[in-house]
Amino acid sequence: MRYLRFATAALATAALTLPLAASSATADPSSGHRDAHHHSHGTSDQLRRAAPDGFYVGTAVAGGGHHLEQDYPDPFTSDKKYRKTMGQQFSSLSPENQMKWEYIHPEQNRYDFAMADAIVDFADRNNQVVRGHTLLWHSQNPAWLEEGDFSAKELRAILRKHITTVVGRYAGRIQQWDVANEIFDGEGKLRTEENIWIRELGPGIIADAFRWAHEADPKAKLFFNDYGVEDVNAKSDAYYALVKDLLKQRVPVDGFSSQAHLSTRYGFPGGLEESLRRFDKLGLETAITELDVRMDLPEGGEPTDAQLQQQADYYQQALSACLAVKDCNSFTIWGFTDKYSWVPVFFEGEGSATVMRDDLTRKPAFFALQSTLKEARKH
């Protein structure tokens, strides 16, 4: 721990004082001219190239959700610099909102696939994989569904059709699906009231969701995904018991992932590696899917150097935990620039949670990820 702290600080300082590598070809053919301007960086400078082979470094793709209430246009389609960096730096993409029910299935008889299609196409062109997010959740469901007064039989058919349609549409093009998101509360109790599916259909619907997703895309790895499971605790215990039970019944569950929305208000969750490892031992893949590290911003909104170092240390520790677990091969940050981060909108007084500032300049956390990946690649 002390060693890690020192290493992060030393490497980050070194990286900040070294001249940036000369630019080379962009990985995004859609982004126009090939790195003509000084914002581009060489391939050795890219997180995706620094990573060990078979290890995916991902980001959320901004759009939908809270972005719709901000005073900027859709980031993914409108912000060229943003797109270009996304293509260059990352080897995995997660639609931040564009595959959620309220976005992709806005009316009972209408799907809106335009943005999800665009993201999956972009990923193909840039040789990136995609994490689908998400199919069974208590949040961001459309009003027609939540307020529809459907019978249990109708709801079951609605869920089955949705999963078959959405998963089927992208079959073969999605590496991992977050089939079930946030089904347990902090005490490890199923969200029986909040989650419409569990409330109306009972907990057995969870197994069905995995079965239907597997039928629609036998190649996709099917995950449970949640926050607050970055330690061995009541919530991760509940997942452990559930997964064991489902595996015994031969339900096609392939993975367990930790969102890892962290804050410097709390210590780094020291049990992260152990928590991932016990699912690894069950034979599951594991992943970090939504890492960000928020902090209380001082007056004026600029984080101090000490805050940025602490943040870098958390990013590095989360990455190291995943790298240390055999089948943890997917590490995704929930956006790479503060410009589009959900944090200031959802956590009052907190911000600066990502690895780049609004203008895409890099924070110590970026360099901490880069050096940790490079180090892992050597071994």
The structure tokens listed for 373 are 């990946």
Number of residue whose CB is nearest ligand XIL: 65
Q: Which is nearer to ligand XIL, 181 or 329 (CB)?
A: 181
Q: Which is nearer to ligand XIL, 56 or 342 (CB)?
A: 342
As measured in angstroms, the least distance from the Cβ of 233 to ligand XIL is 17
Q: Which is nearer to ligand XIL, 106 or 283 (CB)?
A: 106
DSSP state of 363: P
As measured in angstroms, the least distance from the Cβ of 227 to ligand XIL is 6
- DSSP string of 52-83? PTT-EEEEEE--SGGGGGSSS--HHHH-HHHH
The structure tokens listed for 53 are 């082979």
Q: Rounded to an integer, what distance in angstroms lies between the CA atom of residue 335 and that of residue 360?
A: 11
Pick the catalytic residue: 182, 230, 273, 285?
182
> 76 with 118: CB under 8 angstroms?
yes
Q: Which is nearer to ligand XIL, 49 or 339 (CB)?
A: 339
Q: Which is nearer to ligand XIL, 67 or 235 (CB)?
A: 67
Q: Residue 184: what residue type? A: F
- DSSP string of 269-328? -TTHHHHHHHHHHTT-EEEEEEEEEEEEPPTTSPPPHHHHHHHHHHHHHHHHHHHHSTTE
- Catalytic, 182? Answer yes
- Catalytic, 69? Answer no
Q: Rounded to an integer, what distance in angstroms lies between the CA atom of residue 93 and that of residue 87?
A: 9
Binding residues for ligand XIL, rule: CB under 6 A, are 65-67, 96-97, 181, 227, 259, 290, 342
Q: Rounded to an integer, what distance in angstroms lies between the CA atom of residue 259 and that of residue 257?
A: 6
Q: Rounded to an integer, what distance in angstroms lies between the CA atom of residue 295 and that of residue 348?
A: 10
As measured in angstroms, the least distance from the Cβ of 21 to ligand XIL is 32
User: Could you tell me which of 347, 368, 355, 253 has the C-alpha nearest to residue 296?
Assistant: 347
As measured in angstroms, the least distance from the Cβ of 95 to ligand XIL is 9
Q: Which is nearer to ligand XIL, 183 or 205 (CB)?
A: 183
As measured in angstroms, the least distance from the Cβ of 114 to ligand XIL is 18
DSSP state of 265: T
Q: Residue 96: what residue type? A: E
> 215 with 174: CB under 8 angstroms?
no
As measured in angstroms, the least distance from the Cβ of 315 to ligand XIL is 17
Active site residue ranges:
182, 290
